[in-house]
Amino acid sequence: MKSLNDLSYQIIGCVYRVHKELGPGLLESTYEVCLEYELTKAGLNTSRQVALPVVYDNIKLDAGYRIDLLVEDKIILELKAVDEVAPIHKAQLMTYLKLSGLKLGLLLNFKVMDMKKGITRIIM
């Protein structure tokens, strides 16, 4: 079983491949589909647009939250294609981590020239 660090390292390699191939300037949904393909090609179990219910009064309610990509049921990938990552984007990923009970998420902004500047790692 891979550690979270090993798994995130492998994921980031796939992120770099997608960004190198496509570059910045496309829609978030394009990066999502291509990254899902790249992660699956790398042998990682990946799910796209995973429903994330809110538990309220001990009842699971579908509030419309969706995880962009969930890798190996361990790491949440939240994709963006924005000029600048805002605090609300980080808060969104932190909320997803809290609701899911997972520990690690990667906020990935593909609208950058250097993908290294587009990766934010959030640990809960």
Distance, in Å, from the CA atom of 28 to the CA atom of 61, rounded to the nearest integer, reads 26
Long-range contacts made by residues 29-38, C-beta under 8 angstroms, separation at least 24? 31/79, 31/81, 31/108, 31/110, 32/68, 32/69, 32/79, 35/69, 35/77, 35/79, 35/108, 36/69, 38/14
CATH number of domain containing 85: 3.40.1350
Q: How high is the mean pLDDT of the chain?
A: 96
What is the domain extent for residue 115?
4-123
Residue 94 burial by CB count (10 A; 0-12/13-18/19+): exposed, middle or buried? Answer: middle
pLDDT tens-digit series, residues 50-60: 999 998 899 98
pLDDT tens-digit series, residues 26-43: 999 999 999 999 999 999
pTM, rounded to two decimals: 0.94
Domain total for the chain? 1
